[in-house]
Structure 1
Amino acid sequence: MPPSRARTTLALALLLLATTACTAAEHEPTPAPQSLTVSRQARQLRLPLDAYASTVAETHLVEDAQDILIRRCMKDQGMDWKTLPPVDAQDTEPPNLRRYGADEAEALRNGYHPSPDPPSVIRRSRAWDARDALPAEVRRAAYGPSGKGGCLKAADRQLVGDTAPLDFHAFNQLTGTALETSRRTPEVRDALHRWHTCMAKAGYDYPDPYTAAGDERWETSEPTSAERATARADVACQKSTQLVKEWAAAETRIQHHLIQQNTHRLHEAKARKDHWLAAARHVLNHEG
């Protein structure tokens, strides 16, 4: 597993792909509250394919175990290695936040802008950035010329032997298929039509929540009053039309069907993930 930052959930990536291409602004992060504020609905939304995904916390777990083994390897070469700071458990987003549109709690506060990263997420991100500035000799020892060698390769070999790297392709492909297929079901199309009618009565003309969230008018450094008003109307219409409930029910049915069709592929990917996680926990439990 090459060095990488654990990002937000696949749901956010799917939402961004479905609306508009975005890049993160490169500036000092705004101070954030101690924990993420999300709605109860977003916290509780779970889908069948989630069982085969790797959460942000699990990605951090593997990274932390790799870091310990890299530090030992670097020490043998007479070099220091600073491990990544942890991310607080409450600072990781729920797995399906924004999957069907804006989250109520976020919309009320930030419109369609994502909430600022919490302090522990900022600290870990800055630690990753600091590694980009390491002396060339240190980077080569840690990652090798390819970025996948050096002490990282040795750490992975010590961690899981010849076990292949984590495979996210099956999950990513199937969860994307499930989202798009569920969007075309009669019940979701009806719910989206009701949402559109509700928004029109409030003075907004968007065909679906993705389009509302992706309006180019919201490409500002801070949420505007118009953006917040639109987002408030959006989530109010989602609630009154039971859009999320209808969509989640349809996608749950479709995901169960996809799991049945891809049982071997998914179980193989999950077994590989479970092996990595067990090995990582073993390293972390025996550290010190």
Structure 2
Amino acid sequence: MSTPHRRRRRVVPLSLTVAAAALAAGCTSGPPGTTTPATASPGFPAPPASSASPVSPVSGDTGDPSTWTLPLQAYQPTERQAAAIAAAEGTLVQRCMRSFGKEWRPAPGLPRVGPRNMMDWRYGIHDEALSSRRGYQPDAAEQARYDAAVRTQSRRPAPSPDEEVLLGGSDLPASAREQAGPEVRSGSFNGRKIPAGGCFGQARTTLGSQSRGVSPLVEQLNFASYEASLSDPAVTEVFGLWSACMRKKGYSYAAPMDADADPRFRPDPRRRVSEREIATAVADISCRRRHHVAEIWHGVEVRVQSGYVRENAARLAADRRTLDTVIGNSTHVNGRS
């Protein structure tokens, strides 16, 4: 899942042929071990009433947000589980394609670039050593490996229109189906009926979820809690303190997200990271640390998500059961492959 705070960063579109790789990258993952049963109480501390109050303890290393957790992560696959689900899906799709006389392999997963998981940059940058070299940009070596992998994937042979329908079946838009041959448009391939949703749809049915166990409700609430946290009095107060701190250093931004989203700091492979961007990012981190911006913000979002969990307990418990089914079925498929 893309982190709300980093939505402006580059996102590579995914086709059916790399859908499994997208899941392997852990788009909705949390740190390993966040598989608390849905009936368990999250037990997270309430956020401070204001920035003058003691900072609420976080659920991991205070200086490393990638170790923090949010209540809704109990209803999401971990990164390791997401990779296992992707591998199982790829195996099932490959078997399905072979049954139609077609060889297909999932694209290899893209290397990580930037945040280590969904929490790492959720509240903005925090690595002063990296920012002193790269400002708001990811590590240069990570970015280079990622870009090279994307170029390699772009050179993979594209599936034919018939193969696209076989992979995606009725889930494809009408325009894609119209490009296929008459037999495929009628719902068959090499004399055999195409399964509902194509080979991907069949694989997901076998695993037990058309969303690979990823709960649309959880995804919705994850974004909603981030947006809701922005208007909380404790967060708006600490943003004001951060803004005043930045003004003293010569920078005018109303909130931390505004510095990150400054158009002058947009990623551009044609230029080096500017000294201004680096100086701004270092000042940004200094002011964040001085006023405990991330800790207070995280505490508020924990409180918001804890409320969501209580309000949606039955639906979330059902989604957790579905995810557990998908994890179990994936383990079975991967054990046989």
Pairwise TM-score range, normalised by the shorter structure: 0.7 to 0.9
**Alpha-carbon spacing, 1:55–1:79, altered in 2? closer, same or farther (3 Å):** same
Amino acid in the other structure paired with 1:41: D
2:204 maps to what in 1? 156
1:4 maps to what in 2? none
Identity of aligned residues (%): 25
Shift of 1:118: 6.7
Matched, 1:238 2:230: no
1:15 maps to what in 2? 5
Shift of 1:272: 1.5
Shift of 1:54: 3.8
1:32 maps to what in 2? none
Structure 1 Cα separation of the partners of residues 148 and 80 of structure 2: 15
**Alpha-carbon spacing, 1:137–1:258, altered in 2? closer, same or farther (3 Å):** closer
Look up the SS of the partner of 2:163 in the other structure.
helix
**Alpha-carbon spacing, 1:220–1:44, altered in 2? closer, same or farther (3 Å):** closer
Structure 1 Cα separation of the partners of residues 226 and 135 of structure 2: 23
Shift of 1:128: 5.7
2:304 maps to what in 1? 254
Structure 1 Cα separation of the partners of residues 305 and 287 of structure 2: 26
Corresponding residue pairs, total: 260
Question: Cα RMSD over matched residues?
Answer: 3.2
Quick check: 1:57–1:92 contact (8 Å CA) kept in 2?
A: no
1:196 maps to what in 2? 243
1:282 maps to what in 2? 332
Structure 2 Cα separation of the partners of residues 23 and 10 of structure 1: 10
TM-superposition CA deviations, 1:89-114 (whole Å, max 9, x none) = 99972221221222325433321123
Q: Alignment partner for residue 181 of structure 1, among 228, 244, 249?
A: 228
Matched, 1:140 2:165: yes
Structure 1 Cα separation of the partners of residues 332 and 152 of structure 2: 24
1:100 maps to what in 2? 123
2:74 maps to what in 1? 51
Structure 2 Cα separation of the partners of residues 89 and 234 of structure 1: 24
Look up the SS of the partner of 1:266 in the other structure.
helix
TM-superposition CA deviations, 1:143-170 (whole Å, max 9, x none) = 336447322223223333xx55345331
Shift of 1:260: 0.9
Structure 2 Cα separation of the partners of residues 235 and 154 of structure 1: 48
Higher helix share: 1
1:30 maps to what in 2? none
Structure 1 Cα separation of the partners of residues 282 and 81 of structure 2: 33
Amino acid in the other structure paired with 2:5: L
**Alpha-carbon spacing, 1:213–1:89, altered in 2? closer, same or farther (3 Å):** closer
2:259 maps to what in 1? 212
Larger Cα-atom Rg: 2
Give unmatched runs, 5+ long, in structure 1.
1-8, 27-38
2:134 maps to what in 1? 110
Matches within 5 A, 1:222-233: 222-233=272-283
Quick check: 2:136–2:265 contact (8 Å CA) kept in 1?
A: yes
TM-superposition CA deviations, 1:129-156 (whole Å, max 9, x none) = 4567123343333333644732222322
Quick check: 1:182–1:247 contact (8 Å CA) kept in 2?
A: yes
Quick check: 1:85–1:123 contact (8 Å CA) kept in 2?
A: no
Amino acid in the other structure paired with 1:150: G
Quick check: 1:86–1:120 contact (8 Å CA) kept in 2?
A: no
